[in-house]
Amino acid sequence: MKTPNEQRGLFSRLPEEREYWQGLTDKIVADGADHLAKLSDAGAKWWSGIARFSTLLATGAAAAVVGFVLLVPVIDTDAVPRPTVDAYGLVPRDPLAITLISQDVPPTMEALIAMRNAESDR
């Protein structure tokens, strides 16, 4: 193992011997093999019954998509009337909002406070 005082770029305290890493790999495989075997057996139960029908299910799903695409009616966009909306058509019917939106310059703080008080008096 190299010491951190050696000039070699990033300082690492991990050993570089191949035997160390092979032993660590063997230990991880030995400790995790039983757990992984249990997980692999548990997951295979729910789908193993339908796995033999996978080709039929995929074909059915593809046929459903093709049928849906072919049977969806075509909408004539020219026949649908489109409302003409200008900027004032989007303004709400609220007098405060009309005042705020229709002005060329932003209102002053005094005007905002006065409008709010005038509305609360109603």
pLDDT for the residue 67: 93
What single string gives the DSSP state of each residue in 37-74? HHHHHHHHHHHHTTGGGHHHHHHHHHHHHHHHHHHSPP
85: pLDDT confidence band, cut at 50, 70 and 90? Answer: low
Structure tokens at 56: 């039929």
Q: Is the pTM of this model over 0.85?
A: no
Mean pLDDT of 4-20: 72
Largest Cα–Cα distance of the chain, in whole Å? Answer: 87
Q: Is the dihedral of CA 63, 68, 69, 70 positive or negative?
A: positive
User: 42 pLDDT band (50/70/90 cuts)?
Assistant: low
pLDDT band for position 10 (cuts 50, 70, 90): low
User: Does position 3 have pLDDT exceeding 60, yes or no?
Assistant: no
